[in-house]
Structure 1
Amino acid sequence: MKRFLSGSRLLWLLGICLTVSVFLASCHDDDDHVRPKVAGLMAFNLAPDKPVVGVALSGNELNPLPYMSYTGGYLAVFPGKRYTESYDAATGESLAVDTPTYQPDKYYSLFVTGMGDAFYNIVVEDGLDSLSGQAGKSYIRYINAIPGSGSPAVTVSNGKGELISDHPAFNTVSDFTAIDTGAITIDVNDGGDIHTSRTIAVEERKVYTLLLTGHPAGTGNDSVQIRYIPNAMLTLDSTADNAPKAAE
């Protein structure tokens, strides 16, 4: 099936930085009209052979996403059961269709994954409202978006030892884990074609997603890589930025 951009958008950006309580509240305007409650959605293009991916909810399009980029923050979307489609932005060809239910005042991530002729929309509730800012602590999670990777060993460690040790299958999204702030090393190894590592610094009260992406046969931008993005800063501040961002 093919589809093309209509140009309509009913989505507006909430921003990366969220309040400590991490909620989306209904409010009143000057005429005391009640605005509907909304859900928050962050979308990612993790499909190595799709240079630009589009995402639409019930026909309303998000900004096109280059490979390894994301929306840069949570977009406010109307809650309920929504027809959610990812598609090749260059050809309009549909990649994957799902109908998840978005609850009001909840935050979600949508990862477009896969390659070749098999693509997926992985929609997860992020559970940010269950996280609390703590002195000296950060939160991390990861997604294994490496097609054909099987279940590689994924470890996260710091100077004190291992923080995470797992063998996630393709398309697995872990829960958020509280860790000590500072330098951490992420290692992904399947004992064969995949063996990569990276050291990053995580900051106090920030929430991160680690993106394990690319594919084992890749040699350039599509090679296996470890990227990361900040989902939220558990503070009282909030900002907005509508430009898609590349994972670091």
Structure 2
Amino acid sequence: MTTHSKKLNITAKLFCALFALTIILAACAKSDPTPPIEAAGIGFIHASPGTGALDFVVDGQKVNSFTYTQDFGYYTAYPGTRLIGVAKKDSTTYLAKDTVNLKPGTFYSFFVVDTLKSTKILALEDDLTAPAADKAKIRFVNLSPGSPALDLSIANADTALVKNKAFKAFSSFAPIAPNASYTFEVKQTGTSSVKATLPAVKIEAGKIYTIWAKGLASKTDSTAFGLSIMPNK
């Protein structure tokens, strides 16, 4: 999947950038007693159905423009208190904003969620600790406005991977066996009826992923209810 490869390349570049930033600042420290600063990693994901293209903004500076379901991996940011905002493309008016404290060496995902009239930012701290040997890790986030609580499963499995996640609720990253072609499915909690599927997903050992429920049950176009996946590392 091309989106996955792009994300992985950017993630790899980010780790190099974090390392390089630490080395550069450490070199400066030979003549300056100030300790080196380790950057944070911040990712942005457009998960607001029907909202149109959005600009993500950090401390008043535009980072990039995103269309629905799009993300570009992680960006570097200095740690500390930062104002994270989202606006319509090329607008100077925030649809939503939040003040967050970024910890050095920590990675975050900022999802813009809900519909245009009630846009919000959901900030998640991403645990990118490497999976156990011969395992991957996966988490689930329910980002479908107005949806009931949802369960995430692998097709034909006896038990769900994640259970009972209401809108904006999320699981922690959990281990999963790698597989060349999983079919993931989501059900309303307490029922056996499959609401959406995500077929032919390759899960690789050593990788970390987020699957999220998206869209609106009332729609049949590109904003219809479904599942998306993105690699975190």
Per the shorter chain, which TM-score range? 0.7 to 0.9
In structure 1, distance between residues paired with 2:194 and 2:77? 37
Q: Note the 1:45-84 alignment, pairs <5 A.
A: 45-71=46-72, 73-84=73-84
Aligned to 2:86: 86
What pairs with 1:148-227 in structure 2 (closer than 5 Å)? 148-151=146-149, 153-157=150-154, 161-182=158-179, 183-190=181-188, 195-199=195-199, 200-227=201-228
Inter-CA distance 146–162: structure 2 relative to 1 (3 Å threshold)? same
- Alignment of 1:16 onto 2:14: no
In 2, Cα distance between the equivalents of 1:215 and 1:194? 15
Residue 56 of structure 2 aligns with an amino acid whose one-letter code is V
Gaps of 5+ in 1: 1-13, 233-248
Q: Distance in 2 between matches of 1:181 and 1:18?
A: 24
Paired with 2:25 and 2:161, the residues of 1 have a C-alpha distance of 49
d(CA) in 2 for partners of 1:186 and 1:63?
30
Structure 2: which 5+ runs fail to align? 1-8, 30-35
Q: Give me the whole-angstrom Cα distance separating, in 2, the residues matched to 1:66 and 1:74.
A: 16
Q: After TM superposition, give the deviation of residue 157 of structure 1 in Å.
A: 2.3
Q: Secondary structure at the match of 1:104?
A: coil
Per-residue Cα deviation, 1:197-237 (whole angstroms, up to 9, x for no partner): 123221111111112111111111100111111110xxxxx
Whether the 8 Å CA contact 1:138–1:179 is kept in 2: the answer is yes
Distance across 2 between alignment mates of 1:213 and 1:158: 19
RMSD: 2.9
Deviations 1:88-134 (A, max 9, x none): 11544421111011001100000000104111111111021xx2243
Deviation at 1:37, TM superposition (A): 2.1
**Segments of 4+ moved more than 4 angstroms:** none
Question: Cα distance, 1:57 vs. partner?
Answer: 1.1
CA distance in 2, matches of 1:18, 1:137: 23
Deviations 1:62-82 (A, max 9, x none): 1101111012x2100111111
In structure 1, how many angstroms separate the alpha carbons of the residues matched to 2:145 and 2:25? Answer: 51
The one-letter code of the counterpart of 1:147 is P
Q: Percent identity?
A: 22
Matched residue count: 214
Q: Is the CA contact 2:38–2:79 (under 8 Å) kept in the aligned structure 1?
A: yes
- 8 Å contact kept, 1:154–1:186: no
Greater percentage in helix:
2
